[in-house]
């Protein structure tokens, strides 16, 4: 069924920043679909959000599985005929922790090919492939928005500057995958520059999540703000940028 209501799809939306983003978009009257690798966890998240008055559904989606990408396309095509907002929120950090960025040991010379491939599969290849699959539906939206959840840790500029806040946070696989995702943002935004679709990268901040750890200074309630801002940009808003709470970040 076609609908005039905005439809948003958030991968990895059953917990953490993704769940808070679903909550915040839902409060704006947007129909939210949570993508969750674990169907039961997705339904549990839906129950919580529905108890708060939010219109939401769950869709089982393992972002590393191309068959799930096609199933998602079929779901949105059949039910809504379009997709207004895609938030590529799902991601992973394998083998190292950025819980204390200033003390992370640089293991670039010894990191295994397996960790590199697994990280890039989830953080780069998966969102690229899913976006490509869903783009025909986003083109049917009058104001499509694509938000790629990146990280300030993907900034080559800041990584190469001694004294920057992330200079000593060298988690190679994760950070390189986010740098690559930022490149995807730039290239896709350029391709779509003459359309109403806007494509941006978001740094949510260092947030208290399973990945961010307990030492993070930001609460989950604030970690969704950048994603929500970029998902609801006005027609004159930016595209092809890298942002945190409305402020541009260096590539």
Helix (H, G, I), strand (E, B) or coil at 102: helix
Residue 144, domain CATH: 3.40.50.720
Confidence (pLDDT) at 4? 80
Per-residue confidence in pLDDT tens, the chain, 251 aa: 556 899 999 999 999 999 999 999 999 999 999 999 999 999 999 999 999 999 999 999 999 999 999 999 999 999 999 999 999 999 999 876 545 544 567 899 999 999 999 999 999 999 999 999 999 999 999 999 999 999 999 999 999 999 999 999 999 999 999 999 999 999 999 999 999 999 999 999 765 555 555 565 557 788 899 999 999 999 999 999 999 999 999 99
Ramachandran angles phi, psi of 132, nearest 5°: -60, -40
The verdict on residue 167 lying in a domain is no
The verdict on residue 113 lying in a domain is no
List the alpha helices (DSSP H) in 81-171: 113-120, 126-138, 156-159
The string of DSSP codes covering 25-50 is HHHTT-EEEEEESSHHHHHHHHHHHH
The domain of 219 spans 7-93+121-153+179-248
Q: What is the pTM of this model?
A: 0.93
Confidence (pLDDT) at 205? 77
The verdict on residue 143 lying in a domain is yes
Cβ atoms within 10 Å, residue 205: 20
- Is 223 in contact with 205 (CB distance < 8 Å)? yes
| CA 182 centroid distance within chain | 11
The verdict on residue 161 lying in a domain is no
Confidence (pLDDT) at 214? 55
The verdict on residue 99 lying in a domain is no
Gap between the Cα atoms of 221 and 47, Å rounded: 19
From 174, 59, 158, select the one nearest 121 (Cα to Cα).
174
The verdict on residue 111 lying in a domain is no
The verdict on residue 164 lying in a domain is no
How many domains, in total, are found in the chain? 1
Confidence (pLDDT) at 219? 74
Instruction: Give, as one character, the DSSP assignment of residue 153.
Output: G
Confidence (pLDDT) at 123? 98
Confidence (pLDDT) at 104? 67
Confidence (pLDDT) at 2? 55
The verdict on residue 114 lying in a domain is no
Cβ atoms within 10 Å, residue 129: 16
- Is 200 in contact with 229 (CB distance < 8 Å)? no
Confidence (pLDDT) at 121? 98
- Which residues are annotated as catalytic? 174
- Is 58 in contact with 42 (CB distance < 8 Å)? yes
């Amino acid at each position: 069924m076609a609908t005039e209501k905005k439809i948003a799809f958030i991968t990895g939306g059953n917990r953490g920043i993704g769940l808070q983003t679903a909550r915040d978009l839902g409060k704006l009257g947007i129909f939210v679909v949570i993508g969750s690798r674990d169907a039961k966890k997705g339904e549990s998240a839906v129950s919580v959000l529905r108890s708060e008055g939010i219109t939401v559904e769950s869709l089982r989606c393992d972002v590393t599985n191309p068959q799930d990408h096609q199933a998602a396309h079929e779901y949105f095509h059949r039910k809504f005929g379009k997709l207004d907002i895609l938030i590529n929120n799902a991601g992973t950090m394998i083998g190292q922790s950025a819980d204390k960025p200033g003390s992370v040991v640089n293991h670039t010379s010894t990191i295994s090919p397996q960790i590199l491939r697994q990280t890039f599969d989830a953080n780069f290849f998966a969102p690229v492939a899913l976006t490509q699959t869903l783009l025909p539906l986003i083109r049917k939206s009058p104001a499509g928005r694509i938000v790629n959840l990146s990280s300030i840790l993907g900034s080559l500029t800041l990584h190469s500057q001694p004294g920057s806040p992330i200079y000593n946070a060298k988690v190679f696989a994760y950070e390189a995958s986010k740098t690559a995702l930022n490149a995807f943002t730039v290239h896709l935004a350029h391709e779509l520059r003459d359309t109403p679709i806007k494509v941006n990268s978001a740094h949510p901040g260092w947030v208290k999540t399973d990945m961010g750890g307990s030492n993070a200074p930001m609460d989950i309630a604030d970690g969704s703000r950048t994603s929500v801002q970029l998902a609801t940009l006005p027609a004159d808003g930016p595209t092809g940028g890298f942002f945190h709470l409305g402020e541009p970040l260096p590539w």
